[in-house]
Amino acid sequence: MNSSEISDAAISEILGGAEVMVSDTSQVSDGSSSVTIENVNRYSGGMTESVAETRTTTESGATETRTTSTVTGNDFTYVHETYTDSTGESMTSAKWTFADGSSTENVSGPEGDATYFTTPEGKVTGYYGDGTVIIRHPDGVVETRFEDGTVQETYPDGSVIEVAPDGTVTHTDPQGNTETLSPRGRCQQLDGLRQRRFRRARTR
């Protein structure tokens, strides 16, 4: 089951059919805006807890609603959030975070769908609905893979290396100057460019 599709019934199953133990509603108003908060807590044998909060904010006649549900287990945390803005557009996210620091998150909204995987080391890989894949490495390098086969690497010093589908390499330095390398011998050329990027980053 896709984590973004987990329903209240599925959460209840995760919790072992836990019952609602606490439910309360509060409202805060400062005259120009008001916030209504509804909390629901569920417990299962004292081991796993689910907290659902719906926060509705009304300001100048416009209403925004954010609903967050959290399930915490022995080795994971699951957070499901739905946000609806004053125009009626909604965004939904569902995120699993595990004990080793890794996580999986599905996001769906007006701009499309995306899935993010984070490793314990901090590398984040994002898959987008248009076929683009963006990898954010712990060393600061951002690698973007486009659906047409183009690969773009952006380095901490601001330089960019782009490899076209035919193997042509275009290098842009931090000052915006570009150079193009032919596909022939590009592996050795790429290695040299990458080493230069990291040497420059270390000396800054």
Reported as a single tens digit per residue, the pLDDT across 143-190 is 999 999 999 999 999 999 999 998 888 889 888 888 887 766 555 555
Picking from 133, 187, 193, the residue whose alpha carbon sits closest to that of residue 159 is 193
Which amino acid appears at position 7 of this protein?
S
pLDDT for position 28: 57
pLDDT for position 80: 86
Please tell me the pTM assigned to this model: 0.70
Reported as a single tens digit per residue, the pLDDT across 119-144 is 999 999 999 999 999 999 999 999 99
CA–CA distance, 80 with 9 (Å, rounded to integer)? 14
Sorting pLDDT into bands at 50, 70 and 90, what band is 6?
very low
Residue 32 confidence (pLDDT) above 70:
no
Helix H, strand E, coil C: the string for the chain is: CCHHHCCHHHHHHHCCCCEEEEEEEEEEECCCEEEEEEEEEEEECCCEEEEEEEEEEEECCEEEEEEEEEEECCCEEEEEEEEECCCCCEEEEEEEEECCCCEEEEEEECCEEEEEEECCCCCEEEEECCCCEEEECCCCCEEEECCCCCEEEECCCCCEEEECCCCCEEEECCCCCEEEECCCCHHHHHHHHHHHHHHHHHHC
Residue 3 confidence (pLDDT) above 60:
no
Residue 203 confidence (pLDDT) above 60:
no
Q: Please, are residues 36 and 26 in contact by the beta-carbon 8 Å criterion?
A: yes
Sorting pLDDT into bands at 50, 70 and 90, what band is 31?
low
Residue linked to tokens 């081991």? 47
Picking from 68, 15, 60, the residue whose alpha carbon sits closest to that of residue 37 is 68
pLDDT for position 38: 63
